[in-house]
Amino acid sequence: MSGQRIVVLGGGPAGLNAALGVADLGQQVLLVEPREFLGGTPVAERYASITGSFEDAETAMARLAGRLTESALAEVRLGTRAISLEGSPGDMRIGLEGPGGSEVVTCGSVIVATGFQHFDPGRETQLYGYYEYPDVLALQDLESMLKDRAVVRPSNGQPPERLCFVQCVGSRDRNIGNEYCSKVCCGVASKEAIEVREQLPNCEVFIFYIDMRMYGYWESQIYWPAQERHHVQYVKGIITEVLERNGRLLVRGEDTTMGRPMEVLMDMVVLSVGMEPSAGTREMARILGLAQNKYGFIDAPGSPLDTVTTSRPGVFAAGAALGPSDLEDCASSAGLAALRAVSVLRQSEMIGT
Amino acid sequence: MPAPTATADLKVGDVAGYADIAFEEKQRIVSLVIDDPRFTDYLYGCYECGICVAACPSARFYDFSPRRIAQALARRDVRLVYQQIQEDIWECSQCFSCLRCPRGNNPGGLVTIMREVAVNNGLASAREALEGYSRIIYKIMSTGTQVSPDMLQPDAFPDWGPEVKDVSDNLALWRRALPPETLHTVSTGWDVSDQTLIELYLIWFETGALNMIGEVDKGLHMILEEVMQDRLEEAGIEI
């Protein structure tokens, strides 16, 4: 039975961790990734650094991927996606389509780690002018600039003197339909704010927020240093619209601290976009027949005490395919998914299937 | 610590009641607060939890918020901080209940610094706030005691009842009834020795405290300076 393998769909933080977990437990694992590289969204979107540790994101993801590819029990197929799934736990057949054509692979269980995509700020929140003004960006756009150490206004190539973040774009909004908190944007925006202040010491940085959600150690790793050492200005109150004014951006909102409306000029506006299920997550839910919650993420009926078991026996999920997740969540759910996936094989072994 | 900048403010407004001044002058005054050596120990960051306002007695009676003081300074909002120096800070009772801040901020201490800057720069609000206190300032600086028994006039304290007249008519006698001899005084709170007074006057001169009074009340400053110089000269000390 030890020859039987587990298939992991997705090569991002959760998929890599899940596959590593399976290999560490002594089981063969096949990781399937539609992109031509490992590392997932942090690599695809060119994140500058890991929120919390400030480590270079590409380096961190390469280290994780390297550990997996060095494992004798792991096999990775890039440019490949799942197209079908049949069978029952311990005896499954998954159809794969890749550069070499399609084939059916037998496996004991499947882990879905197909992740999230950034909320498209042009979808509902037209008031922020994401597709209208070149100097209105989203978190991942700024990540990429920070990675290149080239934070400049796309409109004129000049470094900004004033930059602000607008929190909760596409999250916690009944009108948009995403009622959930995307969990990471407060930390990511604050981390980027610190990096902007480090790369452009003369640029003033503001964060307009509803409430700052800096879980656990992010408080002392990110939030307090952002305020106390880097003088990032946190202003409680959300921007209602962004307008162009003499070549700059006028943001309008309420300064709730001081209890009055405000209009402030900015050179760059960064929208702290939330998480939505990736196209891959929606597609896999459909192909594998997994129940989704009302937001499209993969449903874990046993949550919160079992965060990884899906509605289909033998299929587990990990990371942001399950809902908004930070990297710690990805590592945690990936570990649990690996354990559950391997235990399916062990149980099959015991009852002699 | 970055200097306050001309564009950091989130509010445009002028101080009601006082003539407006140039932005550069506001910037200079606010910089004096931010560059004060105590400033970094008094202000870390604020998450607007409001515990300082909840604990603040002044916030119950005035439109005063220690949270707004901390926030305005954290933002380096020059116009707003200047406005607060001219208005809000005089409503703080300096009780320091706000020290219970979970971030370790000291809004009351920020108010202390702001008041010192206001007095040292002779701001209109400082003059106005101290106007009613000239007699007390005179008493403290010239005698080292704040309230003296002879200030206890029946006209001034009708709410104290009819006994106050009897007490003030026979003040010296009542005071002599007190057991400690150092309290047998009527024009000072207690007997202040020559040595104490001379040291006190030297402290007022040397620390610049007397000069601070000059910024807000020139007449009072003149009187105090004369009293002190005469006494110090008698003791053979030249200033």
pLDDT tens digits, one per residue of A24-61? 999 999 999 999 999 999 999 999 999 999 999 999 99
Selection from A112-126, B28-42, B208-222 with the highest mean pLDDT = B28-42
Exposure string (b/e) for B157-190, b if CB count within 10 Å is 16 or more? eeeeeeebeeebeebeeeeeeeeeeeeebbebbb
* Structure-model confidence comparison of residues A12 and B168, the more confident one: A12
Instruction: Tell me: pLDDT of A344 over 90.
Output: yes
> Per-residue pLDDT for A17 more than 60?
yes
Does A258 sit within 8 Å of B11, measured CB to CB? yes
Q: Do A227 and B71 touch (CB under 8 A)?
A: no
Nearest to B48 among A257, A262, A265 (CB): A257
Which one of A227, A248, A251, A254 makes the best mutation probe of the B interface by having the most chain B beta carbons within 10 Å? A227
Q: How many CB pairs under 8 A join A and B?
A: 48
Distances (CA, A) of A345 to A6, A16, A315: 9, 20, 12
Give the residue on A whose Cα is nearest the Cα of B69. Answer: A258
pLDDT averaged over every residue in chain A: 94
Q: Output the CA–CA distances (angstroms, integers) from residue B224 to B128, B129, B201, B207, B217, in the order listed.
A: 19, 19, 10, 15, 11
Q: Residues A272, A283: contact at Cβ < 8 Å?
A: no
User: What residue spans in chain B does CATH classification 1.10.1060 cover?
Assistant: 23-128
Cross-chain Cβ contact B74/A227 below 8 Å: yes
Three-state SS sequence of B14-57? CCCCCCCCCHHHHHHHHHHHHCCCCHHHHCCCCCCCCHHHHHCH
CATH 1.10.1060 applies to domain B23-128: yes
Those residues whose C-beta lies under 8 Å from the C-beta of residue A167, and which sit 6 or more positions away, are A185, A186, A189, A207, A208, A209, A210, A212, A238, A272
| Angle value at C-alpha B83, between B77 and B86, nearest 5 degrees | 140
CA B88 to chain centre: 14
Average pLDDT in the B98-119 region?
95
Tokens coding A100: 């070499």
A233 CB-contact burial (10 Å; exposed 0-12 / middle 13-18 / buried 19+) = buried
Spatial CA neighbour of A222 closest among A271, A184, A273: A184
Q: Which domains does chain A have, with CATH numbers?
A: 5-115+278-350 (3.50.50.60), 119-274 (3.50.50.60)
Residues of A in contact with B106 (CB under 8 A): none
By DSSP bridging, strand A268-273 and strand A162-169 are parallel
Out of B6-20, B21-35, B101-115, B124-138, which region has the weakest mean confidence (pLDDT)? B6-20
The predicted pLDDT at position B9 comes to 46
Tell me which chain B residues have a C-beta less than 8 angstroms from the C-beta of A260.
Answer: 11
Would you say A44 and A67 are in contact if contact means Cβ atoms under 8 Å apart?
A: no
Task: Judge: B67–A233 Cβ closer than 8 Å, yes or no.
Answer: no
Identify the DSSP state of B202: H
Give the ipTM: 0.70
Q: Which residues does A317 contact at the CB level (< 8 Å), separation at least 6?
A: A111, A112, A113, A290, A298, A300, A308, A310, A333, A337
- Cβ <8 Å between B47 and A235: no
Cβ within 8 Å, pair B46-A204: no
Give how far the C-alpha of residue A338 lies from the chain's centroid of Cα atoms, to the nearest Å.
19
**pLDDT of B10 over the 80 cut:** no
Give the closest-approach CA distance of A248 to chain B in angstroms. Answer: 13
pLDDT number for residue A32: 98
Instruction: Classify A45 as helix, strand or coil.
Output: coil
pLDDT tens, residue by residue, A248-283: 999 998 888 777 888 999 999 999 999 999 999 999
Select the residue of B2, B10, B45 nearest A228 (Cβ to Cβ). B45
CA distance B128 to chain A (A): 25
| CB spacing of A204 vs B80 below 8 angstroms | no
